[in-house]
Amino acid sequence: MQIAFSKKLTAHETPIPGVVLYDLPVHGDNRGWFKENWQREKMVALGLPDFHPVQNNISFNEKAGTTRGIHAEPWDKFISVATGRIFGAWVDLREGPSFGAVFTAELDPSQAIFIPRGVGNAFQTLEDNTAYTYLVNDHWSADAQGQYTFLNLADETAAISWPVPLEEAELSDKDKAHPRLADVVPMPPKKILVVGADGQLGKALRELYDGDTTVEFAGRAGFDLGSEASFTERNWKNYSTIINAAAYTAVDTAETAEGRPAAWSVNVAAVARLARVAVEHDLTLVHVSSDYVFDGVRESHDETEPVSPLGVYGQTKAAGDAVVSVVPKHYIVRTSWVIGDGNNFVRTMESLAARGVKPSVVNDQIGRLSFTADIATGIRHLLESAADYGTYNLSNDGDLQSWADIARDVYELVGEPRSAVTGVSTEEYFRGKDVAPRPLHSVLDLTKIKESGFAPRPARAALEEYLGQRVMVD
């Protein structure tokens, strides 16, 4: 065997999405050769996923013609040859449009290939004493074998041209018995888990992902944030993402002796547990934050502004953000003035208008509404577009308004006069009441989310649709 020395580390795309063939630099002289078989920094810079390998396996094969596969496993693999030479064959056995796609190549020690979870892997040795080695990002276990997907080496649809005819090759009885492609059950993708799925945002996510079997929803009964079992008894290997739509949002009650520990428990302690799960299992964590992490002194808040919360609720949300920020794959989605399916400011104003009440409403707190339907759509955009990880402001767009302005819009849209709403200052409205401090400016700068390719709807358009849906339901 003649190895090509001093190749440049290079990546080559293949017909199977996510399968990438690499040329590896091999340095040799009269004594033999040396190569960096796995060099995380260089390979990640080249585009190889940072897939966190945890186990290294070697398959030694005494005779040319030894053939193994086609096995699709529930983990990613980085495959190379230590000695000898192979003919490799890979078939996409994942659910989706590329199911059944085939790629073949000969590999010697100067090459390697990355095989994502669910892509069937097989090889045939072309020389005696061939050692086939691979890194995997999960530990092998007997339980995992039930998640394998197999394809017969002789499948007519894949039509792999084996250099050594299969009737002359060394095969195991198990490999001979694997099904044809028509009988293969594709490997499903990893799931997204939505925690807090019964709240306003959770309901919007349910509606957005309705019918999508790759998204799993867990309300309090399905995922109790206060129970250790929720975090330890779930098989996290089956998930790619956690969307944390759960939060303690009783702003005023959070200032009380009973509310303070409850707010810290849900908004910080539980978030820390989710973050630990995400780190340990290489998951993406989506966490929803709030304008209350700011003191509202600045008229507009971008993602780089240091947090400066005024009250307990804001303090817990800021602490939760800090925890999530250390997760390598995270999106902190910062919202303001959330409106969804449930009790909220818009529904309250609608009810008052229907009863002919003329309310006094705060007119010196300035911001924009964030409708849960748009927050949910924005979260899906971040995940599906593979936007850079980090913090994103996400509210609706449009004119800046006070709560009094929004109340007048509601009154107008349900057929009542705008003049029925009287504006008062925050100080006057809360005089003599034991409440949490509020930021006066809650405007979130939307430049970053827009640059990622997502354009939030104007709040007025979203409000009209929201009230129109209520009228149609009633």
E strand spans, 205-317: 215-218, 239-244, 284-290
Q: How far apart are CA 368 and CA 340, in angstroms?
A: 14
E strand spans, 151-226: 191-195, 215-218
Q: How far apart are CA 241 and CA 417, in angstroms?
A: 46
Neighbour-count burial of 325, counting CB atoms closer than 10 A to its CB (0-12 exposed, 13-18 middle, 19+ buried): middle
Q: How far apart are CA 432 and CA 258, in angstroms?
A: 21
Q: Which residues are the active-site residues?
A: 71, 134
E strand spans, 196-300: 215-218, 239-244, 284-290
Q: How far apart are CA 65 and CA 169, in angstroms?
A: 5
304 dihedral zone (left: phi>0; alpha: psi -120 to 50; beta): alpha
299 close to 443: Cβ distance less than 8 angstroms = yes
Cis peptide before 70 (omega within 30 of 0): yes
Residue 291 DSSP one-character state: G
